[in-house]
Amino acid sequence: MILLNEKKIKAFINTRQQLSENTKLAYFYDLRAFIKFVDGKPLTQTILNMFQLELRTLAPASQHRKVSTINLFLKYLYQSGDITQYYELESISPLAHRQTSHTEYRGRLIDITPYYHQVQKPGDLLVLLILEFGLKPSEIQTLKWADFNWDFKILTVAGNGIKRILPIRERFSRLARPIKNGDELFTKSRQFLHYELKKTTSLSSASLREQYILQRVAEKMSIYKLAESLGLKSIQTLDKYYR
């Protein structure tokens, strides 16, 4: 019985040299989610049907992309002799009609300009760190001021075995670079951060992080690049923002 794993995915992707790096990364994420669902079980049409049911919560365009990728992968496995029976998922039109339901998401961008002013208190910096980098309070606590490379304009965030390199934009640099005691903030407790944030804005850290996501979506950042920026292991939680 074939064991589906990341080695098989990489071997498949290596056969498609004509693809861009972004597309290869998209293939990898979609196929990794697929093999995680299969979870070592024998590959059968029943398993595929169950997986396709899982996809129905996604937008037609997302379903189409995932189904197309997985079908190419299944064809590769059959042609290479890894599986003896040819399987495929049912094709989905990217323009298929999607009825509005209670699960449909309606994110709303707000004007975040008022938050971009001289940093005078801890909450001001906290808000900017979330709006600019999509950081969670727990991630902010792991930072050191030395992680901000102002010359190369990058922030290094390490956590959960993943190291992310995030660009520092000019408007953030202009406001934050003059700060001399950033490390003092990063050593504070979660309760302290929550309290300072509450004194600064009516938005929660989750709502501010969502604004980061909505801003990047409005800037046409790909769903895979956004997942990478946020340190996510899959794009599933971001699909609703791209419908």
Tell me the per-residue pLDDT of 146-200, one tens digit each, with 9 for 90 and over. 999 999 999 999 876 778 999 999 999 999 999 988 899 999 998 999 999 999 9
Query: pTM for the whole thing?
Result: 0.60
The string of pLDDT tens digits covering residues 12-34 is 999 988 888 888 888 998 898 88
How far is Cα of residue 6 from the mean position of the Cα atoms in its chain? 19
Q: Residue 51 and residue 29: Cα distance in Å, rounded?
A: 15
